[in-house]
Amino acid sequence: IQSEYLKLQEQKESNARAYPRHFPLVISKAKGMIVTDTEGRQYYDCLAGAGTLALGHNPDVVVEAIREMLDQQIPLHTLDLATPLKLAFMEELFSLLPEQMRDHAKIQFCGPTGADAVEAAIKLVKTATGGRSILAFHGSYHGSTQATMAMSGNLSKKQHLQSLLPDVHFLPFPYEYRCPFGVGGEMTAQLSAQYIEHVLDDCESGIAAPCGVIVETVQGEGGAIPAQIEWLRELRRITAERGIPLIIDEVQTGFGRTGRMFSFEHAGIVPDVIICSKAVGGSLPMSVILYKEELDRWQPGAHTGTFRGNQMAMATGLATLRYLREQRVLDNVQQRSQQMMTRLRSLQAIIPAIGDVRGRGLMIGIEMVEPSGTPDRLQHFPASGRIAEAVQRRCFANGMIIEVGGRHSSVLRFLPPLVITEQETETVLRIFERSIYEALA
Ligand code: PMP
C-alpha cells in the first residue's frame, strides 16, 4: 500500500514539497514520540512537526480537549468573536509572560501560520513608528510568504524571485563557529554588537531609523545557532536606547523549547513584540503576536482575516500550555538537553566529521563537516550537506526522523517533543551514533 501512496504523491504533489522528500513514509498512526507507517514500521520522531508538538503526537490532554469541545457543542469557528474558551486561552497566555510585560501587553490573533504572525508584527511596528526599513540577520528564517522571505537571510531560497520587499537590511548574526568576523569565541558577540551600533549611529548607512529589528534568539532553520546571552542583552540595550522596537520571533523557540517558557528569558530581557506560533496551538494551526501596549496604534480593522484564533486550536493550545506549566515540563527539557549535549559532545571529540555541537534546550544542532576539505580562518572544515544527508538517511533506515538545516543543509537538527523521556533520549542517541558510523563507513 505504502508504495502506491508514495507513487501518487510523487505524481501529484508539488515539486516544491519539502519534508516528504526526505522521509518517504505514509504515516497511519502517531502517539508520543512514535509514528507508525502503513506497513507497521515505527520511527522515533525527532522533528515533531518542526518543533510544533511540544507534548508529542496526540497527547492525552489534547485529545481530551478536542473530545470535550465536540461533546459540549463548543463552536468550532467564530471568526475572532469572544467565547469563554478564547478568554481562558488569553488568560493562560498572558500568565506566561514575564512580569514586566504581563499587565501592559496586547494580543493580536493572526492567521494559522507563523508567517502570518511575522507579517502582522511588521505591520504593527511600521504603523507605530512610521518607519519603513526592517533589520534582520544573516541566516535567519521567518517564513515563506513574500515579506517573510524578504526578511529571511538565506539567499538560496529566494534569489530567483527577483524582488520581494525592498527595505530589509541584514546584519551579522553572532554565529560563533563560523564567525562572520573570523575571530570566534566571545569576540563574535562583541564585534557583532559593535557593528550593529555602528550602522545605527551612521546616518549615511541607510538604516539609521528602522521600524524594527527582528531576531530569533536561536536560529532554527538556520542551523540551531544560539545567540550569546550577552549579545541579546546588548541588542536590547542598543534598540531600547534608540527607540527601535525589538521583535523576537519565538515561532520555534517559544513555549519551553529552549528550557524557558520564552527563549528571551535566558537573557533576562523583555522584547517589544513576541511572535508565537507552532507549539502555542498545541498541534493545531494558530499564531499570535504579543506586544507592549504603547505600540497598539493601528486602527480598528487594520489587521483582519477569516481564520484568526481558531477555536479548536485555542482548546488544544490551552491544554498544552497548562500541561507545560503544571507538569514542570521545562525541567525535563533542561535535563534531556544536558543528556543529549554531553553525549553528542563526546561523539564530536572522536568523530572529525562532527564540526560543531550546539543549541539551547531541545533545539540542538550538529554541524557536519568535510574533514578532507580546506579549513577556514578559524581552522574549521567546510560544512558538509553531503555527510549530513547521508546521516539523515541512515537515521531514517534505523527508525528515526531527523531534519537537516543551516548553511548547505549541513546541520542535523534535534527537535524532539519536550516530554521525551530519559530512556527515549538514550535510544535516539544510540540510533544517531550508529547512523553516523554507518554513513561514514
Ligand atoms: N519563524 C521561525 C523562527 C520559524 O522557525 C518558522 C517556521 N519554521 C516560521 C517563522 C514560519 O512559520 P510557518 O512555517 O508556520 O509559516
Ligand 1 atom nearest the C-alpha of 112 is 15
Q: Which residues of 269-290 are buried (b: 16+ CB within 10 A; e: fewer)?
A: bbbbbbbbbbbbbbbbbbbbbb
pLDDT of residue 162: 67
| C-alpha grid cell, residue 160 | 530567483
Residues 6+ apart with CB under 8 A from 145: 115, 116, 119
By mean pLDDT, which of 162-171, 327-336, 378-387 is the weakest?
162-171
**Of ligand 1's atoms, which has the minimum distance to the CA of residue 113?**
15
Band of pLDDT at residue 191, cut at 50, 70 and 90: very high
Q: In a mutational test of the pocket of ligand 1, which residue from 19, 152, 157, 251 has the highest number of ligand atoms less than 8 Å from its CB?
A: 251
With the C-alpha atoms ordered 11, 16, 21, 24, is the resulting torsion angle positive or negative? negative
**CB 252 near ligand 1, within 6 Å:** yes
Distance from the Cα of residue 417 to its chain's centroid: 13
Q: How far apart are CA 381 and CA 378, in angstroms?
A: 9
Q: Give tens-digit pLDDT for 334-381.
A: 999 999 999 999 999 999 999 999 999 999 999 999 999 999 999 999
Residue 11: pLDDT above 90?
A: no
The 10 Å Cβ neighbour count of residue 298 is 15
Which residue in this structure is represented by grid cell 544527508? Answer: 389
- Ligand 1 pocket residue status of 139, Cβ below 6 Å: no
Q: CA 358, CA 368: separation in Å to the nearest integer? A: 12
Q: Which residues pair with 105 in a beta bridge?
A: 292
- Closest residue by Cα to residue 361 from 324, 387, 306, 317: 324
Task: Report whether 197 contacts 207 (CB < 8 A).
Answer: no
Lowest mean pLDDT among 155-164, 175-184, 287-296, 352-361: 155-164
User: What is 264-302 written as a DSSP string?
Assistant: GGGGT---SEEEE-GGGGTTS---EEEEEGGG--SPTTS
Q: How far apart are CA 253 and CA 218, in angstroms?
A: 7
> Which residues does residue 290 pair with via DSSP β-bridges, in sequence order?
107, 274
In the chain, the domains with their CATH numbers are 2-59+328-440 (3.90.1150.10), 74-326 (3.40.640.10)
On the question of pLDDT at 159 being above 80, the answer is no
Q: Which of 140, 152, 250, 252 to mutate to test the pocket of ligand 1 (most atoms within 8 A of CB)?
A: 252
Nearest by Cα to 89 from 261, 274, 320: 320
